[in-house]
């Protein structure tokens, strides 16, 4: 770089010296010409007047040449100024580049250090990867072994299930034989005129004898509206009959729960204390407690006789839309909320004993007869079976193409009814979770995500409400509609069939309850 600067400075000096030399040469030439021609010009100008014009022309030419020399000198000066400026700019640029060299050398050193560090890290990661590959091979071999064991266990489990199903079928055959024998005996006793035995089974009451046998009498197909009751303001989403009783309990948007005498249609008691709309109701098997699921994220438990609130069950983070009580124990209650949880409660202790989480909101719940498992119907259209002790999902089936709105278990526990927003009502075998009957009607359209349908006490009929205010009753045996009830002016939200075989009660979005006989 220093050599280049020296070269640039030498060029400038050479250019300046050349220009100076040219100017001095021109001046010398001019002076020489003036000195050479001066005497002649003076001598000739005096005697020879005729030659003055010629010498004058020469003088003018010399002056013109001198002017051209001056112009050339100016151009050379301007070019010299430009070249000097360019050389200074080039010198400044060279200095800037030289100033960048230390920084670039430092960056290069850092890059080399980083490259060395990354190379060491790559070597370390390569060793770790080789170790992971070895572990993965070991895990794969363990997985294959476990998979083989699982397949063998599944095969063994299937064999056990088949044996269990065969045993259940044999038990069912024996039970059918016992029922046939009992019906034959009952027919003979009725024929003999024993009125006392007939009174024990009047109006479809399901009673249990000392030996533990259950008796069923046909439910009555409803035809006419016996009572039309304006029960709640804003709508009535849930109604349920007491067990083996003609008393009806209803819950509405007005935050109240009421009890009605189905015979007279008279209000017998009002339960206050709920802070939200009542979305579902359940009653303990001994009829002592009434439990309400509420939009206030809580459940409320009343003493049925005194009307006092026994418990306020808190724990859900969103509205509670379904509740059911165990048929084998009066202490266990299950509820589901739109926080995507199912909670198991102990009524004696008044708090939650287990929580089950799931990805889809649950709209309806029902305990199995043994009280150890629960059925749940979800917004994704699936019916699921859970173990309440472990919270484990035991089985799952796609029940409907749209949300499940209702679950109703038959008295004998062998059939479960599901209703969905696809306007279908499916009957499942609880032992296999297979659909054995689908009920539908073109006029029957489910009103909401919590529209409740029901099965009659003798398991012969299904009742479901519709958006247009009508109620359809199907025969389970053939799937045909046997009755269409029209009295409501609003969408029917809930149906409940008395355990006595009659009446059937329905409620609508206007808060009206109808009792049918």
Q: Is 472 helix (H, G, I), strand (E, B) or coil?
A: strand
In degrees and rounded to multiples of 5, residue 20 shows phi and psi of -60, -40
| pLDDT, average across residues 50-57 | 72
pLDDT (0 to 100) of residue 291: 97
| Whether pLDDT at 483 is above 90 | yes
- pLDDT tens-digit series, residues 330-385: 889 999 999 999 999 998 888 899 999 988 899 999 999 888 999 999 999 999 99
Backbone angles phi, psi at 200, to 5 degrees: -70, -15
Contact call for residues 249 and 282 (beta carbons, < 8 A): no
- Average pLDDT (95-123) is 91
The percent of residues above 70 in pLDDT, for the chain, comes to: 87
Tell me the mean pLDDT in the region 199-204. Answer: 40
Cα–Cα distance measured from residue 505 to residue 487, given in angstroms and rounded to the nearest whole number: 12
**pLDDT band per the 50, 70, 90 thresholds, residue 9:** low
Helices 2-45 and 52-191, interaxial angle, to 10°?
150
Give the distance from CA 506 to its chain's centroid. Answer: 34
212-259 per-position pLDDT tens digit: 344 455 788 899 999 999 999 999 999 999 988 889 999 999 999 999
Structure letter (DSSP) for residue 214: B
Task: Say what the pLDDT of residue 308 is.
Answer: 93
Grade residue 206 by pLDDT with cuts at 50, 70 and 90.
very low
Q: What share of the chain is helix, strand, coil (3-state, %, to 5)?
A: 40, 30, 30
What do you get for the CA distance between the two ends of the chain, in Å?
115
Q: For residue 44, what are the contacts with CB-CB under 8 A and spacing of at least 6?
A: 51, 52, 55
Mean pLDDT of 19-41: 70
Q: Cβ distance 293 to 305 under 8 Å? A: no
Q: Residues 239, 245, 247, 252: what is their CA dihedral angle, to the nearest 10 degrees?
A: -20
Confidence check: pLDDT of 51 > 80? no
Q: How far is residue 451 CA from its own chain's centroid? A: 23
Give me the pLDDT at residue 36, please: 62
pLDDT of amino acid 166 = 78
The predicted-structure confidence for 427-477, as pLDDT tens digits, reads as follows 999 988 999 999 999 999 998 988 999 999 888 999 999 999 999 999 999
Please compute, for residue 83, the number of CA atoms within 13 A of its CA located in the half-sphere on the CB side.
15
CA 39 to CA 48: how far, in whole Å? 14
The per-residue pLDDT for 209 is 38
State the pLDDT at residue 387: 93
Q: Is 54 a residue whose pLDDT tops 70?
A: yes
For 88, other C-beta atoms within 10 Å of its C-beta total 11
Which residue(s) pair with 356 in the sheet? 342
pLDDT band per the 50, 70, 90 thresholds, residue 31: confident
Can you give the pLDDT at residue 178?
Answer: 74
Place 196 in a pLDDT band, splitting at 50, 70 and 90.
very low
Between 35-49, 165-179, 425-439, 445-459, the lowest mean confidence (pLDDT) is in 35-49
Which pLDDT belongs to residue 63? 84
Residue (of 501, 515, 494) closest to 460 by Cα position: 501
Q: Which pLDDT score, from 0 to 100, does residue 12 have? A: 67
Q: How far is the C-alpha of 325 from the C-alpha of 409, rounded, in Å? A: 12
Kindly report, residue by residue over 296-309, the tens digit of the pLDDT.
999 999 999 999 99
3-state SS class at 275: coil
Determine contact, residues 221/472, Cβ cutoff 8 Å. no
* pLDDT for the residue 335: 96
Apex 477 CA angle, 471 and 478, nearest 5: 75
Q: How confident is the model at residue 60 (pLDDT cuts 50, 70, 90)?
A: confident
Give the residue, 468 or 11, on which the prediction is more confident: 468
CA 231 from chain center: how many Å? 37
Among 82, 85, 68, which Cα is nearest to 22's? 68
Average per-residue pLDDT for the chain = 85
Strands 504-508 and 512-516: antiparallel
Are 416 and 369 in contact by the 8 Å Cβ rule? The answer is no
């Amino acid at each position: 770089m220093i050599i280049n600067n020296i070269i640039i400075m030498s060029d400038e000096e050479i250019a300046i010296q050349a220009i100076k030399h040219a100017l001095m040469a021109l001046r010398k030439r001019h002076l020489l010409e003036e000195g050479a021609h001066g005497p002649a010009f003076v001598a000739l100008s005096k005697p020879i007047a005729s030659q003055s014009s010629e010498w004058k022309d020469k003088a003018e030419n010399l002056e013109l040449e001198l002017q051209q020399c001056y112009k050339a000198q100016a151009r050379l000066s301007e070019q010299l100024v430009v070249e000097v400026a360019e050389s200074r700019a080039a010198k400044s640029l060279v200095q800037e580049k030289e100033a960048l060299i230390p920084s670039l050398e430092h960056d290069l050193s850092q890059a080399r250090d980083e490259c060395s560090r990354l190379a060491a890290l790559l070597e370390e990661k390569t060793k770790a990867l080789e170790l992971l590959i070895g572990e993965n091979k070991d895990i794969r071999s363990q997985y294959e072994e476990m998979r083989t064991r699982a397949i063998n266990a599944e095969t063994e489990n299937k064999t056990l299930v088949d044996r269990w199903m065969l045993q259940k079928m044999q038990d069912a055959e024996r039970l059918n034989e016992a029922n046939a024998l009992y019906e034959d005996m009952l027919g003979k006793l009725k024929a003999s005129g024993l009125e006392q035995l007939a009174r024990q089974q009047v109006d479809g009451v399901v009673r249990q004898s000392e030996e533990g046998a259950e008796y069923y009498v046909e439910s009555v197909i409803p035809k006419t509206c016996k009572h039309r009751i304006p029960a709640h303001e804003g709508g009535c989403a849930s109604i349920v009959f007491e067990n083996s009783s003609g008393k009806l309990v209803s819950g509405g948007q007005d935050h109240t729960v009421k009890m009605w005498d189905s015979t007279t249609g008279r209000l017998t008691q009002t339960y206050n204390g709920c802070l939200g709309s009542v979305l579902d109701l359940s009653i303990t098997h001994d009829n002592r407690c009434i439990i309400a699921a509420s939009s206030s994220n809580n459940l409320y438990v009343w003493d049925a006789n005194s009307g006092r609130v026994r418990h306020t069950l808190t724990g859900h983070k969103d509205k509670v839309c379904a509740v059911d009580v165990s048929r084998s124990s009066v202490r266990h209650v299950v509820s589901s909320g739109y926080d995507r949880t199912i909670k198991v409660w102990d009524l004696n202790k008044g708090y939650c004993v287990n929580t089950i989480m799931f990805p889809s909101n649950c709209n309806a719940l029902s305990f199995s007869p043994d009280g150890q498992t629960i059925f749940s119907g979800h917004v994704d259209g699936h019916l699921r079976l859970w173990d309440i002790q472990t919270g484990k999902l035991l089985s799952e089936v796609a029940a409907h193409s749209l949300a499940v709105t209702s679950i109703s278990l038959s008295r004998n526990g062998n059939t479960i009814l599901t209703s969905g927003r696809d306007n279908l009502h499916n009957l499942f075998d609880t032992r296999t979770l297979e659909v054995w009957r689908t009920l539908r009607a073109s006029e029957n359209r489910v009103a909401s995500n919590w529209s409740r349908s029901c099965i009659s006490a003798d398991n012969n009929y299904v009742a479901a409400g519709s958006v247009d205010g009508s109620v359809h009753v199907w025969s389970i045996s053939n799937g045909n509609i046997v009755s269409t009830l029209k009295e409501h002016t609003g969408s029917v939200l809930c149906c409940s069939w008395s355990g006595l075989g009659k009446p059937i009660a329905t409620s609508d979005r206007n808060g009206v309850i109808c009792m049918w006989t």
